[in-house]
Amino acid sequence: MNELHLGRVRKLRTVLVGAQWGDEGKGKIIDVLSDDVDWVVRYQGGANAGHTVEFGGRRFVLHLIPSGIFRLSTRCVIGNGVVVDPLALHQEIQEVQATGIPVQGRLFLSDRAHLVLPYHRAFDAGRERMLAEGERIGTTQRGIGPAYMDKAMRTGIRACALCQPDFLEQVRVRWEESADRLRRFGLDPVGMDSWVEPLTQAARALAPLVADTATLLNDAIARGEGILFEGAQGTMLDVDFGSYPFVTSSNATAGGACVGSGVPPHRIDRVIGVLKAYTTRVGEGPFPTELVNDIGQRLREVGREYGATTGRPRRCGWFDAVVARHAARINGVDLWAVTKLDVLEGLDPIRICVAYECDGERVHTVPADSRWMARCRPVYEEWPGWRGSIREVRNVSELPNAARRYLRRIEELTGVPIGWLSVGPGREATVPLDPPGIGL
Ligand code: GDP
Ligand code: IMO
Ligand code: MG
């Protein structure tokens, strides 16, 4: 395992995935690791993601641009598996540039990435409004599901169209179809006149970024360059392996990195899973370890658990080892990056869910059926907590014994060693474990 760690072999191709329901701290870990790579590649999702990067007392939230953008030696790719809202991306580029970070020549948009257009957003928001309580997914209303729906229906518009003279005509044809669909659902189609001008401007600004990124990346691999694939969302929001239907519409798991970028599976060296030291979820759907009590409230306040994209309060709960094992298995996680350990300080005891109990049965894997998962009750182990801040810890040996025992138990339950520990939102609050694994 050691050769898979840190920068000892500099030019690794690494996939980084969220191991829970998103917001594990992927943005922070990508920013830390991208110090050492040539390319950072987003491979799925869209502007539903909110990835936070903090350094030098500044805080940035990225939705579409990969979190490697703040490392100037890194080039960034938005891969073909991403659905890209041109208006959102145009605005985000302007925001990043306003901070003095150059984007031109460093950011490439796959010519095969599908576009999210205003009618997708309208459909997403309208459908959520129409659904009954209990059926609603609680989407980010960024048009993600409808854009992937058009992709699968073969009625999508791809980024290569941004460079074509009849781009607006292509959009008009699809908008008319979608207006019919919206009316059939009793929804109001948003008039194209209200967004055609900003869309034209966005298309003009984005056209120079459009490239055959699969060729760029495979050429980079041939030159021996290092690549970090940035997953959005998390394993439990994956359209196949998450808590369906309360999921997003793409493959957030490691397999998505290949189809979402055009890089073949045998070119990937390792998978890093990002694991929050407790569990959160935004939106609807089953969440066996959810704490609807003072402890949940405390995790939300201390962990600042409010959505980076929508501002919604995140649901909070204890660490769920059933979910983490599922993530380790589906993604083939080699190393964990465990984040937000600092948030647990002062809680005593700390609980870990090791299995579920459902209809009198002991359950050790994530059920396919969400309704069944919603009936699962957690089976907990209790571990002693610790007092005092660990935010200044930079070496594992400085951690309180109770914190080390908690982390060691996570490794035992998942069969995966910890490679990085995060004890605060900033770059510097990161503890690499080299060699990986908590020694007791
Ligand atoms: P992502 O979607 O996985 O990139 O995660 P988000 O950015 O949506 O949410 C993670 C939040 O936790 C952000 O506000 C980060 O700044 C913050 N964060 C990341 N790591 C740590 C950590 O170790 N400790 C604390 N206290 N905050 C962290
Ligand atoms: P990052 O990358 C947390 C959730 C939504 C909703 C479901 C479907 O920051 O971890 P969608 O808009 O994708 O159709 O919504 O998925 N969701 C996220 N939750 N973090 C995210 O991204 C999410 N992206 C989508 O809340 O429950
Ligand atoms: Mg997020």
Q: How many CB atoms lie within 10 A of CB 167?
A: 20
Cβ(425) to ligand 1 under 6 A? yes
pLDDT at residue 5 greater than cutoff 80? no
User: Cβ(78)–Cβ(265) under 8 Å?
Assistant: no
Ligand nearest to the CA of 252: 2
Residue 121 has pLDDT above 60, yes or no: yes
pLDDT tens-digit series, residues 330-381: 999 999 999 999 999 999 999 999 999 999 999 999 999 999 999 999 999 9
Query: Quick one: average pLDDT of 19-41?
Result: 96
Written as six digits, the tokens of 405 are 């025992």
CA distances to 30, 98, 437, 438 from 92, rounded to whole Å, are 18, 10, 38, 39
For 375, other C-beta atoms within 10 Å of its C-beta total 14
The whole-number average pLDDT for the span 93-106 is 96
For ligand 1, whether the C-beta of 26 sits within 6 Å is yes
For the CA of 305, the closest atom of ligand 1 is 11
Kindly state the average pLDDT of the residues 1-27: 79
pLDDT-derived band at 184, boundaries 50, 70, 90: confident
Residue 205 CB-density burial (10 A; 0-12 exposed, 13-18 middle, 19+ buried): middle
Those residues whose C-beta lies under 8 Å from the C-beta of residue 64, and which sit 6 or more positions away, are: 42, 46, 47, 49, 78, 82, 84, 85, 88, 89, 92
Nearest atom in ligand 2 to 22's CA: 10
Considering the entire predicted model, what is its pTM? 0.97
Q: Which of 5, 23, 90, 326 is catalytic?
A: 23
Instruction: Note the pLDDT of residue 7.
Output: 47
Segment 132-144, tens digit of pLDDT: 888 899 999 999 9
Across the range 5-10, mean pLDDT stands at: 48
CB 101 within 8 A of CB 162: no
Query: Whole-angstrom Cα distance, residue 339 to residue 24?
Result: 7
Would you say 234 and 19 are in contact if contact means Cβ atoms under 8 Å apart? yes
* Strand residues in 90-218 grouped as ranges (E): 107-110, 114-115, 210-211
For 80, other C-beta atoms within 10 Å of its C-beta total 22
Proximal ligand: closest to the CA of 55: 1
For residue 185, what is the DSSP state?
Answer: T
The pLDDT assigned to 9 comes to: 47
* 51 in catalytic set: yes
The residue assigned the tokens 């699969």 is 214
The answer on pLDDT for 440 being more than 80 is no
Helices 86-98, 196-206: axis angle to 10 degrees equals: 60
- Whether the predicted pLDDT of 179 surpasses 60: yes
- Span 280-303, average pLDDT: 98
**Residue 36 is a catalytic residue:** no
How far, in Å, CA of 187 to CA of 178, rounded?
Answer: 11
Question: Is 314's C-beta closer than 6 angstroms to any atom of ligand 1?
Answer: no
Ligand at minimal distance from the CA of 427 is 1
β-strand 335-339 against 315-317: which pairing, if any?
A: unpaired
Give yes or no for residue 81 CB within 6 A of ligand 1.
no
What kind and span of H or E run contains 430?
strand 430-432
pLDDT at 295 over 70: yes
Q: For residues 116 and 88, what is the distance between their CA atoms, to the nearest angstrom?
A: 9
Binned at pLDDT 50, 70 and 90, residue 322 comes out as very high
As beta bridge partners, residue 58 has 55
Q: What mean pLDDT do residues 143-170 have? A: 97
Residue written as tokens 């939230």?
Answer: 61
| CA 233 / ligand 2 centre spacing (Å) | 6
Query: DSSP letters of 143-192?
Result: SHHHHHHHHHHT---BGGGGGSTTHHHHHHHHHHHHHHHHHHTT-PPPPG
Marked catalytic residue, from 51, 114, 120, 326: 51
Cis peptide before 349 (omega within 30 of 0): yes
Q: How confident is the model at residue 8 (pLDDT cuts 50, 70, 90)?
A: very low
Task: Find out whether 351 and 382 touch, Cβ atoms under 8 Å.
Answer: yes
242 lines ligand 2 (CB under 6 A): no
Summarize pLDDT for 200-233 with one digit per residue, the tens.
999 999 999 999 999 999 999 999 999 999 999 9
Instruction: Check residue 1 and give its pLDDT.
Output: 42
Three-class DSSP category at 328: helix
The torsion angle over the Cα atoms of residues 75, 80, 85 and 87, rounded to 10 degrees, is: 40
The response to whether residue 42 sits with its C-beta less than 6 Å from ligand 1 reads no
Going by alpha carbons, the residue nearest to atom 16 of ligand 1 is: 425
What's the gap in Å between 436 CA and the centre of ligand 3?
Answer: 26
Pocket flag, ligand 1, residue 113 (CB < 6 Å): no
Q: Domains, the chain, ranges and CATH? A: 3-106+212-432 (3.40.440.10), 114-211 (1.10.300.10)
Instruction: Output the average pLDDT for the chain.
Output: 95
- For 178-192, 294-308, 310-324, which range has the lowest pLDDT when averaged over its residues? 178-192
Confidence band for 407, pLDDT divided at 50, 70 and 90: very high
Q: Ligand 2: which of 20, 230, 233 to mutate, most ligand atoms within 8 Å of CB? A: 233
Confidence of residue 46 (pLDDT cuts 50, 70, 90): very high
Type of residue numbered 328: A
Return d(Cα 229, Cα 262) in angstroms, integer. 12
CA 223 to ligand 1 centroid distance, Å: 34
> Of the residues 139, 281, 287, which should be mutated to test ligand 2's pocket, given the most ligand atoms within 8 Å of the CB?
139
Q: Which residues sit opposite 230 in a β-bridge?
A: 16, 42
What sign results for the dihedral spanned by CA atoms 132, 134, 140, 145?
negative
Identify the pLDDT of residue 188.
Answer: 80
Q: What is the mean pLDDT of residues 241-252?
A: 98
d(CA 243, CA 238): 8
User: 20: Cβ below 6 Å to ligand 1?
Assistant: no
Q: Average pLDDT in the 190-205 region?
A: 94
> From the CB of 423, is ligand 1 less than 6 Å away?
yes
Angle at 406 between CA 404 and CA 410, to 5 degrees: 110
